[in-house]
């Protein structure tokens, strides 16, 4: 019970007792006076008129006392109603209107405790995909609108279910049913919900696409208590995020082993960063004559016990465990320290689209460059997952600030998303790296030919550099050259190598060592 309600009820009780006491004392004094008048020491009997007057006054007082009691009872009823309303409000999430965590957990426990042999329940643990990115990119007011939209969609698609916000961008849905729910039906519910999110949340005059990852656990099959059920649903949710998001996953026993393995890998990766056990391999980027234009710095992890762990294994783990930013700054620092032993060309480093949205990115990068005495013009920032990079004023301003500080910007794996041409129009950049899947399909697929030609023409007219990735043969090189690409990268020119194993036989492309010349002019 809230302090305000307690105070109001206490005040009403005091007023009631005080009013009753005053009325009682007043009535008592009148009655005493009346009795005293009856026993007149002079022996005179009071007149009938006096008797009636006193009696009438007593009746009025009693009636007044009754009215006071009724009024106070009415006041107490109002206070109780207000208390009930405040209590209901205290059980709701103030932003979204769904149950808050305390209410959701309490109700879920009661439902699970009451489950009989004929009753079942399903817990859906639901997370908004990339919600931190929404807050960082569009601001917290936009994030609030996404949360409100998300909660409405939950109530719309999970009717007759208990819905609650468990904290941040995580929601819970508990659906009670008499018949066992099938995995197919649970996934169908989730699929409809995820489809409903695609209409997007309205942010000002725009619609922001929203997606969700969902973990599913069935009671009593996957847990009879709240603690066991939510733990298993959480593991299923983790698997959904690991599987690419925007999907649902039903809990399986083997997830326990997978989760333990990944948690161990996270601990070891964090230790490797602190102990500087991650290495940097450099892969050459060359011009049409095979002369060196730049190197791309690629992270390598040779584990003491596990041996070589591929980047496609530990990088996703780093992204899910929030270690990806630490890795990005680790690579930048190591590259800056290696530069005195590298040819005087630019070095491409990879940053995720999530890192680009970080408000302190520029300051932290400039601090590292200042500590190591590195010219920012020697660094090209490759934006990995560029297809997921939001096109908005905040991101555009961040990239422009990086450019103004001397960095060059490259869009990596270009062509893997539906919005890249909008990125070409709205975002500042210097380099386009066309994904190797397009290079391999050149000459065999008309759409690919048209796409690559269009990208090259846009780059030519705007003075950008186009790099063809995945060049593994002379045929690949010839196709990319015929398409108009300016620079080339792939095993055909050299595999990634550690600093000590680097091929030193490349001649430098014209202007590659002159850091006053933009990289797009080096071709």
Three-state helix/strand/coil letters over 450-478: HHHHHHHHHHHHHCCEEEECCCCCHHHHH
DSSP-based three-state secondary structure for 500? helix
Binning pLDDT at 50, 70 and 90, where does residue 325 land? very high
Rounded distance between C-alpha atoms, residue 239 and residue 52, angstroms: 88
Of 27-36, 90-99, 447-456, 498-507, which gets the smallest average pLDDT?
27-36
The pLDDT of 458-473, averaged and rounded, is: 93
- The reported pLDDT for the residue numbered 312 is 87
Most confidently modeled range among 40-54, 239-253, 418-432:
239-253
- The reported pLDDT for the residue numbered 28 is 52
Most confidently modeled range among 168-172, 175-179, 254-258, 412-416:
168-172
Binning pLDDT at 50, 70 and 90, where does residue 26 land? low
Helix (H) or strand (E) holding 93: none
- The reported pLDDT for the residue numbered 402 is 96
Rounded distance between C-alpha atoms, residue 89 and residue 406, angstroms: 53
- The reported pLDDT for the residue numbered 391 is 67
pLDDT at residue 60 greater than cutoff 90 = no
Short-list 331, 312, 404, 308, CA closest to 362 = 404
- The reported pLDDT for the residue numbered 122 is 95
The residue ranking higher by pLDDT, 66 or 190, is 190
Report the percentage of the chain scoring pLDDT > 90: 51
Report the percentage of the chain scoring pLDDT > 70: 78
Binning pLDDT at 50, 70 and 90, where does residue 343 land? very high
Q: Assess contact for 165 and 113: CB atoms under 8 A.
A: no
Q: Where are any strands of DSSP class E within 400-444?
A: 408-414, 431-434
Query: pLDDT digits over 478-519, tens only?
Result: 999 999 999 999 999 999 999 999 998 898 887 776 644 344
pLDDT at residue 423 greater than cutoff 70 = yes
Q: Assess contact for 267 and 273: CB atoms under 8 A.
A: no
Half-sphere exposure of 27 (CA within 13 A, CB side): 17
- The reported pLDDT for the residue numbered 498 is 95
Whether the ω angle into residue 220 lies within 30 degrees of 0, i.e. cis, is: yes
| Sequence-ordered list of residues with C-beta below 8 angstroms from that of 102, at least 6 positions apart, any chain | 91
| Sequence-ordered list of residues with C-beta below 8 angstroms from that of 90, at least 6 positions apart, any chain | 2
Average pLDDT, the chain: 83
The pLDDT of 345-361, averaged and rounded, is: 89
Q: What CA–CA distances, in Å, run from 166 to 150, 158, 171, 415?
A: 13, 16, 5, 38
**Positive/negative CA dihedral, 422, 427, 431, 434:** negative
Query: pLDDT digits over 170-194, tens only?
Result: 999 999 988 778 888 999 999 999 9
Beta pairing class for 408-414 and 379-384: parallel
pTM score above 0.75: no
- The reported pLDDT for the residue numbered 41 is 47
pLDDT at residue 74 greater than cutoff 80 = no
Q: What CA–CA distances, in Å, run from 74 to 5, 77, 79, 84?
A: 16, 5, 9, 15
- The reported pLDDT for the residue numbered 177 is 86
pLDDT at residue 466 greater than cutoff 50 = yes
- The reported pLDDT for the residue numbered 56 is 61
- The reported pLDDT for the residue numbered 137 is 78
| Sequence-ordered list of residues with C-beta below 8 angstroms from that of 469, at least 6 positions apart, any chain | 413, 433, 434, 435, 436, 439, 489, 490
- What six digits make up the tokens of 358? 């970080």
List the end-to-end C-alpha distance of the chain, in Å, as a whole number.
Answer: 73
In sequence order, the β-bridge partners of residue 347 are 295, 379
Rounded distance between C-alpha atoms, residue 492 and residue 474, angstroms: 8
Q: Assess contact for 324 and 350: CB atoms under 8 A.
A: no
Name the burial class of residue 288, with classes exposed (0-12), middle (13-18) and buried (19+) by CB atoms within 10 angstroms of its CB. middle
Q: Assess contact for 99 and 165: CB atoms under 8 A.
A: yes
In sequence order, the β-bridge partners of residue 414 are 434
pLDDT at residue 79 greater than cutoff 80 = no
């Amino acid at each position: 019970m809230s302090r305000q309600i307690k105070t109001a009820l206490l005040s009403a009780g005091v007023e009631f007792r005080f009013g009753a006491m005053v009325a009682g004392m007043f009535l008592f004094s009148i009655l005493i006076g009346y009795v005293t008048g009856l026993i007149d020491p002079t022996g005179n009997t009071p007149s009938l008129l006096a008797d009636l007057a006193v009696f009438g006054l007593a009746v009025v007082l009693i009636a007044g006392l009754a009215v006071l009691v009724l009024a106070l009872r009415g006041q107490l009823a109002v206070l109780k109603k207000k208390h009930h309303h405040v209590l209901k409000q205290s059980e709701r999430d103030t932003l979204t209107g769904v149950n808050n965590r305390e209410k959701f957990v309490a109700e879920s426990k009661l439902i699970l405790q009451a489950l009989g042999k004929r009753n079942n329940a399903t817990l859906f643990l639901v997370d908004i995909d990339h919600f931190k990115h929404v807050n960082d990119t569009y601001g917290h007011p936009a994030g609030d609108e996404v949360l409100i939209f998300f909660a409405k969609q939950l109530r719309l698609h999970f009717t007759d279910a208990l819905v609650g916000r468990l904290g941040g961008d995580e929601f819970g849905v508990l659906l009670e049913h008499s018949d066992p729910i099938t995995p197919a039906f649970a996934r169908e519910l989730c699929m409809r919900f995820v489809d409903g999110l695609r209409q997007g949340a309205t942010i000002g005059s725009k619609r922001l696409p929203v997606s969700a990852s969902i973990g599913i656990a069935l009671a009593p099959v996957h847990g009879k208590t709240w603690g066991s059920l939510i733990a298993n649903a959480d593991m299923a949710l983790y698997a959904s995020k690991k599987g690419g998001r925007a999907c649902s996953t039903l809990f399986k026993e083997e997830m326990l082993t997978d989760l333990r393995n990944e948690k161990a890998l996270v601990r070891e990766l964090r230790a490797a960063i602190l102990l500087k056990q991650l290495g940097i391999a450099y892969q050459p980027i060359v011009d049409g004559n095979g002369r060196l234009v730049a190197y791309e710095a690629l992270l390598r992890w040779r584990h003491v016990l596990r041996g070589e762990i591929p980047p496609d294994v530990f990088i996703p783990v780093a992204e899910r465990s929030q270690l990806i930013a630490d890795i990005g700054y680790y690579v930048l620092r190591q590259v800056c320290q290696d530069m005195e032993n590298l040819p005087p060309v630019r070095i491409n480093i990879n940053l995720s689209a999530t890192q680009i949205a970080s408000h302190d990115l520029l300051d932290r990068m400039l601090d590292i460059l200042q500590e190591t005495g590195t010219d920012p013009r020697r660094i090209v920032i490759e934006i990995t997952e560029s297809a997921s990079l939001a096109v908005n004023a905040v991101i555009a301003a961040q990239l422009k600030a990086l450019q103004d500080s001397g960095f060059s910007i490259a869009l990596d794996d270009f062509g893997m998303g539906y919005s890249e041409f909008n990125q070409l129009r709205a975002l500042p950049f210097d380099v386009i790296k066309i994904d190797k899947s397009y290079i391999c399909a050149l000459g065999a697929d008309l759409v690919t030919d048209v796409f690559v030609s269009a990208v090259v023409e846009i780059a030519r007219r705007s003075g950008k550099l186009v790099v063809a990735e995945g060049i593994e043969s002379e045929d690949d090189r010839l196709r990319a050259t015929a398409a108009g690409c300016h620079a080339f990268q792939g095993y055909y020119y050299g595999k990634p190598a550690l600093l000590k194993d680097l091929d030193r036989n490349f001649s430098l492309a014209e202007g590659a060592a002159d850091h006053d010349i933009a990289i797009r002019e080096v071709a």
